[in-house]
Amino acid sequence: MTTLTGERPEAPGADQGRWIEDWRPDDERFWNETGKRVARRNLAWSILTEHLGFCVWLLWSIAVINLGTVGVTLDVGQQLWLTTVPNLVGAFMRIPYTFGPARFGGRNFTIISALLLLIPCALFVYAIENPDIPFWVLLLIAATTGLGGGNFASSMSNITHYYPTNKQGLPLGLNAAGGNLGTSVTQLAMPPLIVAAGLVAVGWVWMPLVLVAAAGAYFFMNNLRHATSSYTVKEMAAISRRPHTVIMSVLYIGTFGSFIGYSFSFGVLIKNQFPDIKAADYIWLGALVGSVARPIGGWLADRLGGAKVTFWNFLIMAFGIAAVWFAVGAGSWPLFLAAFLCVFATTGIGNGSTYKMIPAIFKNKAMEGVDPADEGAVAAAISSARRTAAAAIGISSAVGALGGVLIQQTFRISLAEAGSIAPALLILAAFYTVCVVLTWVTYLRRTGDLRRSLADAGV
């Protein structure tokens, strides 16, 4: 078995597809000579697998506005339920998927999670070829696409272990953006495919790509031995109750919850508010803008601090969603589109900045009381912080995705009770304002030694 030490492997690729026994990304020499190359390779295949997970997860967001072509007629409430259930299942799947890399190894679980995507693709084909099936069966089939939503948690918790703490913002942003782009790719590429080959092709097209991703993970990814200790239920419960886990989960509802909630609902909202506009021509823009903005958020957080970026980002989100509310009242399609795209951009930036904050926060907490001169104690603290941060990332990602469900249901109730999405938009603007205050009070307002320690940790 080839292991990684401070020396460069004997030959390029000699360690591919194997367990890595020695991994020290915070050791500058190790990182420059060996770690960086291996981390980038694992990141590349992680991005592809997560990207396909999002593509599959969002299948029904584009299918619902095209079901009429195969003889299925649904009202607005049913359409929103058909996009909400995959979101809900995807959110819950993120909890077990967080444990996957720690239990089986990052490479091994990436292979498993990729192959599982074949199930919702095959069931989608069955549903479209049998349009007379009951709506509840359609909901169950749509629910299986939630497997794609779980991929995010396993991918992010795995990649966290590969990079130095002070360099995690950009790679985590790129990893997440690659997945988020699957949302836009599905919404952009599927309409012309549907025109050319019918709605059923939306299920078939991803299957060979999923097999490529599984093969790539098998041949080119690694398992990190130090990252494979399993979490107990007691440990996870304790991590989930930590104040910073709770706070970051709330903030992640505002960022990722908004991104995925709007991505699932955007087409339905356009169709409902502006029926003369062809939703399929614009539905993909929001997810694209939000995805591209995510690594920018990570990059900014690496340089300015995650808390500062998150604070200003939520402030812009609040004003942006207020502009969407004004556009709805004025019946202005150009303003509606421009304001919503601005909000999508802030969801991406906020996603990147909040995920930069999590590893830095737990590293800062782990280093409290540790003598910097004691190399063994420092290494143990950093290892513990990485493990805790990986779990917190999985928990936050699950809660964030559940926030997307809440956003979808807020729109559904607003339409059902008021016949407009305006009340929902006002509620969302108020929530983003709460996130502004929470970020300020927790991570920016504090002074003295604690505030300096948070700043030194990159929070």
Residue 192 lies inside a defined structural domain of this protein: yes
Q: What is the count of structural domains for the chain?
A: 1
Q: Does the pLDDT at position 456 exceed 60?
A: no
Render pLDDT for 289-322 as a digit per residue (tens, 0 to 9). Answer: 998 898 899 889 888 888 999 999 999 999 999 9
Q: 394 lies in a domain?
A: yes
Per-residue pLDDT, 232 = 66
For range 43-65, the mean pLDDT: 90
Is 267 part of a structural domain of the chain?
A: yes
Give me the chain's average pLDDT, please. Answer: 85
Question: SS3 string of the chain?
Answer: CCCCCCCCCCCCCCCCCCEECCCCCCCHHHHHHHHHHHHHHHHHHHHHHHHHHHHHHCHHHHHCCCHHHHCCCCCHHHHHHHHHHHHHHHHHHHHHHHHHHHHHCHHHHHHHHHHHCHHHHHHHHHHHHCCCCCHHHHHHHHHCCHHHHHHHHHHHHHHHCCCCHHHCHHHHHHHHHHHHHHHHHHHHHHHHHHHHHCCCHHHHCHHHHHHHHHHHHHHHCCEEHHHCCCCCHHHHHHHHHCHHHHHHHHHHHHHHHHHHHHHHHHHHHHHHHCCCCCHHHCHHHHHHHHHHHHHHHHHHHHHHCHHHHHHHHHHHHHHHHHHHHHHHHHCCHHHHHHHHHHHHHHHHHHHHHHHHHHHHHHHHHHCCCCCCCCHHHHHHHHHHHHHHHHHHHHHHHHHHHHHHHHHHHHHHHHHHHHCCCHHHHHHHHHHHHHHHHHHHHHHHCCCHHHHHHHHHCCC
Tell me if 28 is assigned to some domain.
no
pLDDT above 70: residue 381: yes
Residue 112 predicted with pLDDT over 90: yes
Domain CATH number, residue 38: 1.20.1250.20
Among residues of the chain, what percentage have pLDDT more than 90? 40
Q: Is the pLDDT of residue 257 over 80?
A: yes
Q: Over range 162-168, report the average pLDDT.
A: 81
Six token digits for residue 175: 């990893």
Q: Is residue 453 scored above 70 in pLDDT?
A: no
Report the pLDDT averaged over residues 400-408.
86
Band the pLDDT of 73: cuts 50, 70, 90: confident
**Structural domain includes residue 22:** no
Question: What mean pLDDT do residues 58-80 have?
Answer: 84
- pLDDT class for 382, splitting at 50, 70, 90? confident
Higher pLDDT, 17 or 458: 458
DSSP strand pairing (223-224 vs 19-20): parallel
- Asked, for residue 7, whether it belongs to a domain, the answer is no
Q: What is the pLDDT of residues 428-452, one digit of tens each?
A: 999 999 999 999 998 887 654 445 5
Domain that holds residue 116: 34-456
At residue 383, the pLDDT reads 73
Q: Kindly report which listed range (203-212, 240-249, 329-338) carries the lowest average pLDDT score.
A: 240-249
pLDDT band at 212 (very low <50, low <70, confident <90, very high): very high
* pLDDT given for residue 423 in this prediction: 94
Does residue 62 lie within any of the structural domains?
A: yes
Say if residue 375's pLDDT is above 60: yes
Residue 26 in domain: no
